[in-house]
């Protein structure tokens, strides 16, 4: 096999990036947009020694799990990887991924995993779940003003009319149309990355799903938007509009948001709820993008924590304190640790806004704060919750957790591979897996979240 050869491939597996995998002459081929069960014709793009990459040319026999994507541009867009796969199959694929990691990388015995593993929590309606979208603004090849999403791995914009993103809120379309029409009318230039010139770089739209409040923030390469009163008047007619701001970003950078936010109309923030807890969301605040599933995920974390009102709980990698505030209502005392100072500011404000007085927060690296407080102050915990980024927990965090001897450790994970690695260490250090639940926070993408409860076993 060599570059440009056409081959027929039966897709038998799926890679971590959602690409279909099939074998030809004993050699694995990775084929984007092919799904398990498809028989496809593909063109070899690149060959390595034992594997290669091929482009999907034709679907000869479609998989029973194949369905039409809802987005017209699903394949070109970099956002989703498996929109053409039936949702039940997506869920089965994600649950398998969690199980396989725990079995193979985590070394969890099959009978223990089988009794711990619960069903994956999917969405009843797996579309329109994102409460946040960031659209680049630019010009298309013909020089027309456009806004949309970047095509996968490029900075070429797929324009909005072609791609009303089926994961985002329906309101997004109207907001962008009004902004583009306004820019056209008043000759306001979009930002040009190459030349580092032009004004409007990105449009950020956020929606409070519970409150219906809408936020629009225009990221600009300048100090202000000419005729912004006209823009504000038009945007404020959209039902739910609560906050219109601009963010100043004059740097030559891929970072979307600038740090300075100016209010153009209404408030500088919107409000939303996860379960009973209220959050203030500013353009720069972190907030979970799928609030419906977040409530289920953190609800499971709370259930696994098994609180009775007396416990001391540590919530490591606490972000804006979403889990901490959920836990605080049923714990004695909660301590959160987070590396981003602004997130801790938000966490404290959110605690105050909800009248929660038994949550305290520390800024710093979990792998420094926890060992330090343990050595110097002998802190203890009945339950420790962790929700680390993809790379999982640092060794120093795992070691200190074990020394603290909590009854239960609740591990919330966005990457089953690092979860499995950390579970292996915890199982070798006196903890056993009791319950595992996967939650689908990002339907149509390959991501999966897991919450895993480990109990201390007498040894
Ligand atoms: N549960 C949180 C989100 C957790 S995401 C919420 O709902 O808000 C992981 C968090 O870990 C991020 O907020 C990130 O800033 C933080 N983080 C990353 N590395 C860290 C470290 N070494 N120590 C502490 N926090 C860290």
Residue 154, pLDDT score:
80
Task: Flag whether pLDDT at 178 surpasses 80.
Answer: yes
Tokens coding 157:
């914009």
Residue 340 CA, closest ligand 1 atom number: 15
The pLDDT tens digits for 298-311 are 999 999 999 999 99
Task: Give the pLDDT band of residue 8 (cuts 50, 70, 90).
Answer: very high
CB within 8 Å of 34: residues ≥ 6 apart: 9, 11, 19, 20, 22, 40, 42, 56, 59
Residue 164, pLDDT score:
78
The pLDDT tens digits for 46-85 are 999 889 999 999 999 999 999 999 988 888 887 899 999 9
What mean pLDDT value characterizes the chain?
95
Mutate to test the pocket of ligand 1, among 279, 314, 317 (most ligand atoms within 8 A of CB): 317
Is residue 387 annotated as involved in ligand binding?
A: yes
Query: With a threshold of 0.85, does the pTM exceed it?
Result: yes
Residue 69, pLDDT score:
93
The pLDDT tens digits for 181-202 are 999 999 999 999 999 999 999 9
Cα–Cα distance for residue pair 139/156, rounded to 1 Å: 9
Mean pLDDT of 105-116: 97
Cα–Cα distance for residue pair 359/311, rounded to 1 Å: 12
Distance 286 CA to ligand 1 centre (A): 10
- Residue 301 backbone dihedrals phi, psi, to 5 degrees: -60, -40
Task: Flag whether pLDDT at 269 surpasses 70.
Answer: yes
Residue 73, pLDDT score:
85
Mean pLDDT of 217-245: 98
Q: Which position has the higher pLDDT, 155 or 132?
A: 132
- DSSP character at residue 442: S
Residue closest via CA to ligand 1's atom 10 equals 317
Distance 318 CA to ligand 1 centre (A): 6
Is residue 422 annotated as involved in ligand binding?
A: no
Residue 162, pLDDT score:
62
Cα–Cα distance for residue pair 67/57, rounded to 1 Å: 17
Task: Flag whether pLDDT at 203 surpasses 80.
Answer: yes
Residue closest via CA to ligand 1's atom 13 equals 319
Cα–Cα distance for residue pair 360/282, rounded to 1 Å: 22
Residue 7, pLDDT score:
97
Residue 100, pLDDT score:
96
- Percent of the chain exceeding pLDDT 90 equals 90
What structural domains and CATH numbers belong to the chain?
A: 6-65 (2.40.50.140), 91-124+290-456 (3.40.50.150), 132-281 (2.40.50.1070)
Residues 129, 167: contact at Cβ < 8 Å? yes
Residue 163, pLDDT score:
60
Distance 390 CA to ligand 1 centre (A): 10
Query: Any idea which residues carry the catalytic annotation?
Result: 414
Lowest mean pLDDT among 48-57, 146-155, 252-261, 378-387: 146-155
The DSSP bridge pattern shows strands 20-24 and 383-386 to be unpaired
The pLDDT tens digits for 138-162 are 998 888 999 988 887 788 888 776 6
Is residue 19 annotated as involved in ligand binding?
A: no
Mean pLDDT of 367-373: 98
Q: Output the ligand 1 site: residues, CB below 6 A.
A: 286, 288, 317-320, 322-323, 337-340, 343, 365-367, 387-389
Cα–Cα distance for residue pair 411/386, rounded to 1 Å: 5
Is residue 317 annotated as involved in ligand binding?
A: yes
Task: Flag whether pLDDT at 418 surpasses 90.
Answer: yes
Cα–Cα distance for residue pair 110/117, rounded to 1 Å: 10
Distance 323 CA to ligand 1 centre (A): 11
Residue 320 CA, closest ligand 1 atom number: 8
Task: Flag whether pLDDT at 459 surpasses 80.
Answer: no
Whats the size of the chain, residue-wise? 459
């Amino acid at each position: 096999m060599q570059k440009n050869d056409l081959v027929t491939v039966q897709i038998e597996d799926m890679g971590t990036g959602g690409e279909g995998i099939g074998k030809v002459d004993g050699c694995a081929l990775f084929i984007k947009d092919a799904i398990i069960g498809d028989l496809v014709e593909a063109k070899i793009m690149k060959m390595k020694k034992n594997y290669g990459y091929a482009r999907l040319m034709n679907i000869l026999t479609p998989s029973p799990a194949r369905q039409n994507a809802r987005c017209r541009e699903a394949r070109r867009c970099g956002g989703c990887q498996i929109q053409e796969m039936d949702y039940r199959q997506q869920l089965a694929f994600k649950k398998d991924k969690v199980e396989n990691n725990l079995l193979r990388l985590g070394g969890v015995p099959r009978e223990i995993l089988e009794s711990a593993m619960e069903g994956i929590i999917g969405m009843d309606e797996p579309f329109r779940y994102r409460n946040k979208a960031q659209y680049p603004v630019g010009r298309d090849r013909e020089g027309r003003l456009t806004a949309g999403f970047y095509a996968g791995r490029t900075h070429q914009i797929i324009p909005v009319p072609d791609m009303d993103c089926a994961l985002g809120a329906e309101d997004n379309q109207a907001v962008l149309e009004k902004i583009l029409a306004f820019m056209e009318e008043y000759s306001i230039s979009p930002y040009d990355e190459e030349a580092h010139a032009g004004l409007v770089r990105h449009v950020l739209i956020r929606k409070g799903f519970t409150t219906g409040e809408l936020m629009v923030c225009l990221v600009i390469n300048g100090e202000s938007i000419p005729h912004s009163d006209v823009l504000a008047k038009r945007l404020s007619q959209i039902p739910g509009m609560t906050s219109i701001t601009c963010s100043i970003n004059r740097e030559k950078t891929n970072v979307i948001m600038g740090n300075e936010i100016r209010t153009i109309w209404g408030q500088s923030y919107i409000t939303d709820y996860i379960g009973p807890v209220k959050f203030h969301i500013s353009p720069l605040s972190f907030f979970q993008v799928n609030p419906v599933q977040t409530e289920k995920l953190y609800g499971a974390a709370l259930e696994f924590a098994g609180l009775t009102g007396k416990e001391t709980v540590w919530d490591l990698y606490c972000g804006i304190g979403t889990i901490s505030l959920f836990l605080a209502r049923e714990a004695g005392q909660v301590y959160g640790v987070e590396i981003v100072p602004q997130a801790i500011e938000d966490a404290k404000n959110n605690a105050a806004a909800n009248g929660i007085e038994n949550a305290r927060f520390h800024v710093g690296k979990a792998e420094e704060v926890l060992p330090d407080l343990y050595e110097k102050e002998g802190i203890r915990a009945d339950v420790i919750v962790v929700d680390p980024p993809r790379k999982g927990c640092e060794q120093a965090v795992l070691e200190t957790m074990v020394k603290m001897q909590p009854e239960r450790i609740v591990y919330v994970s966005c990457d089953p591979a690092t979860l499995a690695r950390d579970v292996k260490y915890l199982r070798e250090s006196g903890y056993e897996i009791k319950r595992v639940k996967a939650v689908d926070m990002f339907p149509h993408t390959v991501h999966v979240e897991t919450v895993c409860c480990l109990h201390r076993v007498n040894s």
